[in-house]
Amino acid sequence: MNGPTSGSVETRTSWIVASVALAVLTMSYGGPLVTVVALKPIAAEFDTTRSAPALAISLTYIGAGLGGIAMGWLAERIGIRAVVIGCGSMIGAGLLISSFGGLWQLYACNLLLVGLLGAAGMFAPLMTYVTRWFDRRRGSAIALISSGQYVAGALWPSVFQFGIDEAGWRWTMFGFGVLTVLVIVPLAAIFLHPPPAPPLEGSLHAGPSVGKSVLGLPANFVMGMLAAAVFCCCVTMSMPLAHMVAFCSDIGIKPAHGALMLSVLLGSAFISRQFWGWLADRMGGLRTVLFASTGQAVAMAGFLMTQDEVGLFTISAAFGLGFGGLIPGYVLAIRDLFPASEASWRIPVVLFPGSLGMAAGGWLAGAMYDGYGFYGPAFAIGVLFNLFNLLLIGALVIRNRPARLATVPG
């Protein structure tokens, strides 16, 4: 049956839209990964420290997070289709220009084109858009589309490493820029239709009312706690993501194996994210974040304990299993705690510090490596940031008793 049931907005079209959003995010997240995989070759070509190209990755996250707030506002007015087409074109343009330039062109294109005018229109606006197609299985849908980062991470690093080995990082970046435009623009033009009308306030799927306190606290204070928690967990999350290939090569593991390890990490995150989405529909977003963050902290500590290749593959998979539930949990928590009419600005505002955290963690790990000559101190700082995240989320979970019980059929 294609129509909604029991007042639900969900239809078969909802899942088609979610699948297309996943494909778009898989492409858009590939852009920064070119620089991640080519970190050492770029640094060697420009005769600079490793933190220099790592800064370009950080600038992408800063631009994407900052622009996400404006793009969420713009998508409400001109539609998600136009935003995604324009931003996908900007990502492609940024990669093309970067492939011909020097280090400063790489910085400018990652900040402005790939980040501020590109990826900014992808994650938070698409996440808000897709949540409006779902009410009964919203957590599962969020888990699916937010897995674009991990599908990209599982798919692209080995492809990029092959391209870099065979043709160099410049031609690899150029080719992926062209592919990004060829995939994202037609998908958005054909499939990203306007979402269903929101449920009436007070109905079964309407969510909280405007103007109410949240967990007995001012709404914006709770939003600030969530934003701080997102920043802390993303500092930790970004360190292995940005430095896995370089870390492996430093300890005698082949770069190709390091790229495969990154793929394993993100592939396990994709698989586990579907479980976290299923679980979030039953226990709520906040508890999902708490358990997932605990898993990430334990796995991050594991990177400090071994340099054995088999052990690192195992820890990488465990790290992916842990952090796979974080972003879906945060998005679902926002939809659980705040009115649906405020989602278009609350989701990007809360996720923006996550972009800053990804930027800070990736740069910090590179800077600490330059200072100490190995990644141990950086990974230890990552564990501390994760523990602070657990304190913030734990405080909100305590105020959120009893647990949210979702009504999910079957």
pLDDT digits (tens, 9 = 90+) for 52-107: 888 888 889 888 878 888 898 899 889 999 999 999 999 999 999 999 988 999 99
404 pLDDT band, cuts 50/70/90, is very low
Segment 242-247 mean pLDDT: 81
334, 271 Cβ separation under 8 angstroms: no
Question: How many whole angstroms separate alpha carbon 261 and alpha carbon 244?
Answer: 8
Give pLDDT, residue 67.
87
Domains of the chain: 12-399 (1.20.1250.20)
pLDDT digits (tens, 9 = 90+) for 100-148: 988 999 999 999 999 999 999 998 899 889 988 998 888 889 888 888 8
Q: What is the DSSP letter of 215?
A: T
User: What is the three-class DSSP state of 321?
Assistant: helix
pLDDT digits (tens, 9 = 90+) for 141-167: 988 888 887 788 778 888 999 999 999
* Distances in whole angstroms, Cα of residue 257 to Cα of each of 206, 312, 341: 48, 11, 46
Structure tokens at 233: 């967990």
Strand partners, 214: 217
Residue length of the chain: 410
User: Left (φ > 0), alpha (ψ -120 to 50) or beta: where does 202 sit?
Assistant: left
Q: Which residue has the higher pLDDT, 184 or 368?
A: 184
Above pLDDT 70, what percent of the chain?
A: 92
Question: How many whole angstroms separate alpha carbon 296 and alpha carbon 290?
Answer: 10
Continuous segment of H or E residues that includes residue 52: helix 51-78
Structure tokens at 102: 């020097």
Query: What angle is formed at CA 322 by the lines to CA 320 and CA 326, rounded to 5 degrees?
Result: 100
Segment 281-294 mean pLDDT: 92
54, 242 Cβ separation under 8 angstroms: yes
Provide φ and ψ at 217, rounded to 5°.
-125, 160
Question: How many whole angstroms separate alpha carbon 142 and alpha carbon 406?
Answer: 15
- What predicted TM-score, i.e. pTM, was given to this entire model? 0.74
Cα end-to-end span (Å), the chain? 16
180 pLDDT band, cuts 50/70/90, is very high
pLDDT digits (tens, 9 = 90+) for 189-202: 999 989 887 655 55
Q: Kindly state the greatest CA–CA separation across the chain.
A: 63
Give pLDDT, residue 137.
86
